[in-house]
Structure 1
Amino acid sequence: MTSPVNPLGSALQQIQSLAAQAAGGAASAGSSDTSALGASGAASPDSFASALKASLQKISSDQQHAVGESQAFELGSPNVSLNDVMVDMQKANIGFQFGLQVRNKLVSAYNDIMQMSV
């Protein structure tokens, strides 16, 4: 019914793909003029915002999928097993906890920057 869950492999794959994207952006920026901030290899606000938005949408869709499977199981759907429901609920919970920790780190970094003297 479902494929085996390998959350560490999935997280590692996502980190590696993000690192490859960052390295690609830095390599292309290194060959151009670095006098402008946009060409210095720093992530643009649009790319960060879109990545953050995509992550939040993924967390939300995982939670909605888990709730949908839970409701289907409660209604007695024959193609939904308890194992699938529990795995999906845990995946949604872990995704939410991950998002919460990212938010905490962003707020902490924002507070640190705001406390810097100029």
Structure 2
Amino acid sequence: MDTKGIDQMLSVLRATAAQASGRTAEAPATEGSSDFAKILENSIAQVNQTQQQAEDMAAKFAAGDSTANLHEVMISLQKANLSFQEMVQVRNKLVTAYNDVMNMSV
């Protein structure tokens, strides 16, 4: 799995947290970096693509395609499941961070 997008997202979150607490932080923008929404969108698209590939492999196996191996289908399905669970955990952390920021007294 490509971790570059996750690393960029974490740097944006750290910089935002530093700004919210009144500290100065390193600029999260690095050469070739994207905005937070674009990183999140790309991550969701990658999870979706992984799930679609797993479903296609499972459908081919169920249809009796001789090129689809059971172990490859199972591995693909597990990768899709793990990537989806990871995305849910990131979403949960984002919601928690949002709630924390919204509950801050000004």
TM-score interval, normalised by the smaller of the two chains: 0.7 to 0.9
Relative to the length of structure 2, the TM-score reads 0.72
> Percent same amino acid at aligned positions?
40
Structure 1 ranges of 4+ moved more than 2 A: none
Identify which of structures 1 and 2 has the higher relative contact order when contacts are C-alpha pairs closer than 8 Å and 6+ apart.
2
Relative to the length of structure 1, the TM-score reads 0.65
Q: Hey, what does 1:41 align to over in structure 2?
A: 27
Q: 1:111 to 1:55 in 2, by over 3 A?
A: same
* Cα shift at 1:88: 0.3
Q: CA RMSD in A?
A: 2.3
Choose the corresponding residue for 2:93, options 105, 110, 113: 105
**Deviation digits for residues 77-112 of structure 1, max 9, x if unmatched?**
010100010000000000000000000000000000
Task: Find the structure with the greater CA-based Rg.
Answer: 1
* Cα shift at 1:73: 0.1
5+ unaligned residues in a row in structure 1: which ranges?
A: 1-9, 23-39
Q: Hey, what does 1:73 align to over in structure 2?
A: 61
5+ unaligned residues in a row in structure 2: which ranges?
A: 12-25
Which one-letter code corresponds to 2:28 in the other structure? A
Q: Residue 35 of structure 2: SS of its match in structure 1? A: helix
Which one-letter code corresponds to 2:27 in the other structure? G
Choose the corresponding residue for 1:88, options 49, 73, 76: 76
Q: Distance in 2 between matches of 1:93 and 1:18?
A: 21
Paired residue total: 86
Q: Distance in 2 between matches of 1:106 and 1:54?
A: 16
